[in-house]
Amino acid sequence: MGGILSKLLIDISFVGTAYCGYQVQPSSPTVQQELNNAAKKLFGFDCDIVGCSRTDSGVHANHFCATVSQKGMESLPTSIPLEKIPSALCFYLPEDISVMSATWVRDDFHARYDVKYKEYLYCIWNAKQRDPFLHGRAWHYPKHIDDNALEQMRLAAKKLEGTHDFSSYMAANSSVATTVRTVYKTDVYREGNAIYFKVSADGFLYNMVRIFTGTLISVAEGKISVDDIDKITEVKDRSKAGITAPPQGLYLNKVVY
């Protein structure tokens, strides 16, 4: 591949509760704006910060990647040692955003378009009483999901694997060039009172994981059967799938280049 190692790739974690998503928006707090502010203070000039994905308001990231370059350029001129950059950026960031590591990448590297696959994790707190330590970080679903219902959710999730037109699991009125995506792997499992839905794919439509999750809850409730999943996918009709699960349980969990 062409290019020289002159652009910075940072690995970020953030709690999205206080932000209107990742991407800069007028008059609204966003993760990207905080990164822009921190980078300018550290490097002394405006930077272009390109994220690996967009996230909705209230969505979190265990692992989020972004490139940093001087505005209008494809490189980042700096004399700051690479190993010191994460801590230096963190000094200027709020406590709910952290830069975990940094590495140099080619000047033609793109944080979004060079992604091989992404993995999302959705957390459901399945207990009668809410957990205050998970406030804003999980979907509190108080109706008990027993082992049989959990297995039905797992089987239904497996039906989503493969290459499909996922129009039925995309927010209404969304506009994209193609609604075909490849889901590589899914899993549904329990850890104590928490139920996790994990899914990896080459790309995701708007609200796709949250609609997947809402559909799996409908399976647990007996409103949708495992066999219905194929039909819901085939009809390409958003109204046939489950509800859109709330954003606070969703985490971008892994980004692979």
Over the stretch 191-208, which tens digit does the pLDDT of each residue have?
Answer: 999 999 999 999 999 999
What pLDDT score was predicted for residue 5? Answer: 81
Tokens, residue 206: 């708007």
What pLDDT score was predicted for residue 175? Answer: 84
What is the C-alpha to C-alpha distance for residues 69 and 209, in angstroms, rounded to an integer? 31
What is the C-alpha to C-alpha distance for residues 60 and 31, in angstroms, rounded to an integer? 10
What pLDDT score was predicted for residue 1? Answer: 44
What pLDDT score was predicted for residue 228? Answer: 97
What is the C-alpha to C-alpha distance for residues 126 and 133, in angstroms, rounded to an integer? 14
Residues of the chain with pLDDT under 50: 1
Q: How far is CA 252 from CA 25, 63, 207, in A?
A: 20, 6, 13
What pLDDT score was predicted for residue 153? Answer: 98
Under a CB-based contact definition with an 8 Å cutoff, are residues 125 and 140 in contact? Answer: yes
Tell me the catalytic residues.
56
Over the stretch 163-185, which tens digit does the pLDDT of each residue have?
Answer: 999 999 999 888 899 999 999 99
